[in-house]
Amino acid sequence: MRCPFCGHTETQVKDSRPSEDGAAIRRRRLCPVCGGRFTTFERVQLRELTVIKRSGRRTPFDRDKLLRSIDIAIRKRPIDPDQVDRMVNGITRQLESMGETDIPSEVVGELVMKGLKSLDDVAYVRYASVYRDFRETKDFADFLGREGFGDPGEDER
């Protein structure tokens, strides 16, 4: 494993242990040249997945990109990072177990929305606003009404 600090190609593993959900191996590494310490994760990848965008463009599935998009939706929300990691692992496993290597981006988006709905309503609506390309406040109101949040203008009695 290449050192991210000095680029040396040989690093030493100082500690290995399974992640909390058992879906990865966490390794603490040390560079013998610069003394830098860093962590790597080793995960099982069942197959190479390709995401087919709405435009028809094809890109390799990137777990980190998925995590970054979810992190934007949950920013400043009281959500445990371990819950997010478990959700991303679950989505990745679902995609890998579909039996297809080409996955439409809509499938990924719907799985993320389903996962966020169970974690946090605000994060769910934030993600949906980007994923569904809301243009005006009416789009939010329509979405919230369809999703059973009630009329956002109504007072609860």
pTM of the model: 0.67
Residue 148 lies in a domain: no
pLDDT per residue over 80-115, tens digit each? Answer: 998 998 899 899 989 988 888 999 999 999 999 999
Q: To 10 degrees, what angle do helices 63-74 and 121-131 make?
A: 120
Bridge partners of 41, per DSSP, are: 26
Does 146 map to a domain? no
Residues 130 and 81 in one domain: yes
Our count of domains for the chain comes to 2
Is the Cβ–Cβ distance between 90 and 83 less than 8 Å? no
Same structural domain, 58 and 101: yes
CA dist 21 and 121 (Å) reads: 24
Q: How far is CA 58 from CA 29, 93, 107, in A?
A: 34, 20, 14
Same domain, 86 and 100: yes
- Using the structure block, give the residue that is written with the tokens 């039996």: 99
Shared-domain flag, residues 25 and 69: no
**28-53 per-position pLDDT tens digit:** 999 999 999 999 988 776 678 999 99
